[in-house]
Amino acid sequence: MKVYVDPARCRGHARCISSAPAEFDFLDLEDLAVVRPGAAQSGSPAAFREAARQCPEHAIVIETDEE
């Protein structure tokens, strides 16, 4: 699974952080969320899906091996 935040879409709401704090981190200076290093491999797929569902900008991209 590959997960990342599209910086062109992210608006810094931090809803992803609230939803999945172990999977996402917030870059204060850039006002952007990012996937924590290694979290795409070790994090919960369900947590990523829920965070993506809650992102109002559709900025969280999830690519699975089946795609």
Residues at the interface with ligand SF4 (CB under 6 A): 5, 10-16, 33, 55, 57, 59-60
Q: Which is nearer to ligand SF4, 42 or 53 (CB)?
A: 53
- Shortest reach from residue 33's CB to ligand SF4, in Å: 4
* Least distance between ligand SF4 and beta carbon 7 (Å): 9
Q: Closest separation between CB of residue 13 and ligand SF4, Å?
A: 3
Rounded CA separation 49/59 (Å) = 12
34-66 as b/e, with b when 16 or more CB fall inside 10 Å? bbbeebbeebeeebbeebbeebeeebbeeeeee
